[in-house]
Amino acid sequence: MPIGLFKRLFPSKEKVEAPTPNKKAAKPKPAENKKPKSKASTAPKAVTKAPQPKWDPAQFTVAAVEGKTRFHDFKLDERIMRGIYDLGFEYASPIQSESLPITLAGHDIIGKAQTGTGKTAAFLITVMQKLLTSTPQERFASEPRALVVAPTRELALQIAQDARELGKHTDLHVMTVLGGMDYDKQRTELSNKVVDIVVATPGRLLDFLNQKIVFLDQVEMLVIDEADRMLDMGFIPDLKRIIRATPEKNLRQTQLFSATYPYDVIELSESWTYKPHQVEIEPESVATERVDQKFYIIQETEKDKTLARILKSPEMGRAIIFANRRDTTRDLAQRLNRMGLNAMLLSGEVAQNKRMATLERFKKQEKAILVATDVAGRGIHVDGISHVFNYNLPDDPEDYVHRIGRTGRAGANGIAITFVDEFEAYGLMDLESYLGNKIVTEVAPEE
């Protein structure tokens, strides 16, 4: 969507003010389906807030640079600062420097940003800061204080991992509620432990909600990530039910992120957020800045050979090859393996547990090849991917940006090579207008 349209549909809101004290501080009204608090689960947990003495914040020094925001500028809890320090972050990324002043002041946010921009840390920092600043007197099992909903298991797992790293020095308890795995384990953990942050995919969370295994009426902080993907994947009805189980929108803080804003997402965003502020990070500037993009005109029959040749070159590190269909990825992975290249497969037809093991293997090896579909590839947040290949030109230009955003992450440079055969060439025009710049094609190199 053109920025103009986005801005018209979301007219810019009032300036960031001081936090409205009674908005979020208001006591959430009791939910109707309130859980009978059984003995087993009612043991109140004393939330210990003692800072860890061994770390001296003075060791986290970052030079002030004009135009850059440091995390020091936000007056964050020392335990969060220590997590940030351990992660090696120095300056806030654009989405962080734009959104944190808004969200830390208690306002809702609608963020147009995609993966690779640092949006996960942006919303997690606020969630954690809020949870650490106010401590309810009593806590109970089954009642998270923060809920992050994401469309895919891979993304949810990645968010939970980021939360555990960022919150390493806090005693905030993070857990995932995900379909396809560990049903009993998740149920037991929710029922028996005090959980602060739940990161969930919609299906399993709704199941647990219906069975009264989880209660969302104590949710102070709600994050909806990749709202556009939720829409694509048909999760909106589930999500609506989930959100209805949380406190009313003026009694919780909501952060909603989406890479794109189709009309339905705009409408939903408005109904789920309270006086939201908007932050927009343009995809081109994020995804393409550090990615050298090449478009090779090539015959379909030549793709394998050329791909294998490039994959065998010495400068190859970790590579992801995207194709448009599951069967294409499966067949391609097999063919590459027959050519002596050790290719892993990540698509919806691979069982969930195997997908996670594959991702782990991919992360651990310095040189590795992964063949993936768009949906499976969305959740891949692995640094150090040197090359992304588009075996097919994606049907949807947004997918192109998502795909190439797997490389060029965390300050590194990356190369994206897109194969375009004679049938795909017509799709270049769409992509050009989406990216807003001219695409220069070249004939695929023979050597």
- Our CB check for ligand AMP shows the closer of 120 and 218 to be 120
Instruction: Residue 290: name the closest of 432, 381, 415 by CA.
Output: 415
* Candidate ranges 21-29, 42-50, 115-123, 287-295; the one touching ligand AMP (CB under 6 A): 115-123
Instruction: Residue 439: name the closest of 262, 259, 284 by CA.
Output: 284
Residue 2 CB burial class (10 angstroms; 0-12, 13-18, ≥19) = exposed
| Cα–Cα distance for residue pair 6/10, rounded to 1 Å | 6
**Chosen residue from 69, 93, 186, 329 binding ligand AMP by CB under 6 A:** 93
- Our CB check for ligand AMP shows the closer of 9 and 62 to be 62
> Which amino acid, one-letter code, is at 39?
K
What spatial distance separates the first Cα and last Cα of the chain, rounded to whole Å?
A: 40
Q: Does position 150 bind ligand AMP by CB under 6 A?
A: no
> Which amino acid, one-letter code, is at 237?
P
The token pair at 274 is: 């309270």
* Candidate ranges 18-26, 60-68, 117-125, 234-242; the one touching ligand AMP (CB under 6 A): 117-125
* Candidate ranges 31-39, 116-124, 127-135, 330-338; the one touching ligand AMP (CB under 6 A): 116-124
| Cα–Cα distance for residue pair 447/445, rounded to 1 Å | 6
* Candidate ranges 111-119, 217-225, 245-253, 436-444; the one touching ligand AMP (CB under 6 A): 111-119
- Our CB check for ligand AMP shows the closer of 35 and 409 to be 409
> Which amino acid, one-letter code, is at 75?
K
Sheet containing 318-322: order of strands? 343-346, 368-372, 318-322, 385-390, 414-420, 291-297, 441-443
* Candidate ranges 26-34, 112-120, 322-330, 416-424; the one touching ligand AMP (CB under 6 A): 112-120
Q: Are 123 and 161 in contact (CB under 8 A)?
A: no
User: Following DSSP, what letter does each residue of 70-116 receive, concatenated?
Assistant: BGGGG---HHHHHHHHHHT--B--HHHHHHHHHHHTT--EEEE--TT
Q: What share of the chain is helix, strand, coil (3-state, %, to 5)?
A: 40, 15, 45
| Minimum gap (Å) between residue 226 Cβ and ligand AMP | 11
- Our CB check for ligand AMP shows the closer of 89 and 389 to be 89
| Minimum gap (Å) between residue 223 Cβ and ligand AMP | 12
Q: Does position 119 bind ligand AMP by CB under 6 A?
A: yes
Q: Does position 406 bind ligand AMP by CB under 6 A?
A: no
* Candidate ranges 6-14, 92-100, 245-253, 432-440; the one touching ligand AMP (CB under 6 A): 92-100
Q: Does position 120 bind ligand AMP by CB under 6 A?
A: yes
Q: Are 387 and 407 in contact (CB under 8 A)?
A: yes
| Minimum gap (Å) between residue 165 Cβ and ligand AMP | 8
Phi, psi of 134 (to 5 degrees): -120, 130
CB crowding 290-322: b at 16 or more within 10 Å, else e:
ebebbbbebeeeebeebbbebbeeeebbbbbbb
**Chosen residue from 3, 65, 410, 429 binding ligand AMP by CB under 6 A:** 410
| Minimum gap (Å) between residue 92 Cβ and ligand AMP | 5
Instruction: Residue 23: name the closest of 269, 268, 274, 271 by CA.
Output: 274
Site string for ligand AMP, 380-399 (x = CB under 6 A): -x-x----------------
Q: Does position 97 bind ligand AMP by CB under 6 A?
A: no
| Cα–Cα distance for residue pair 227/120, rounded to 1 Å | 14
Q: Are 272 and 256 in contact (CB under 8 A)?
A: yes
Which 21-40 positions form the footprint of ligand AMP (CB under 6 A)? none
Would you mind telling me the total number of residues written for the chain in this entry? Answer: 447
**Chosen residue from 102, 121, 166, 444 binding ligand AMP by CB under 6 A:** 121
* Candidate ranges 119-127, 238-246, 259-267, 363-371; the one touching ligand AMP (CB under 6 A): 119-127
Q: Does position 115 bind ligand AMP by CB under 6 A?
A: yes
- Our CB check for ligand AMP shows the closer of 202 and 379 to be 379
* Candidate ranges 25-33, 90-98, 263-271, 315-323; the one touching ligand AMP (CB under 6 A): 90-98
| Cα–Cα distance for residue pair 73/81, rounded to 1 Å | 11
Q: Does position 414 bind ligand AMP by CB under 6 A?
A: no
- Our CB check for ligand AMP shows the closer of 89 and 140 to be 89
Q: How many residues bind ligand AMP (CB under 6 A)?
A: 15
Q: Does position 118 bind ligand AMP by CB under 6 A?
A: yes
DSSP, collapsed to helix, strand or coil, labels residue 397 as helix
- Our CB check for ligand AMP shows the closer of 121 and 265 to be 121
Q: Does position 229 bind ligand AMP by CB under 6 A?
A: no
Q: Which residues bind ligand AMP (CB under 6 A)?
A: 89, 92-93, 96, 115-121, 381, 383, 409-410
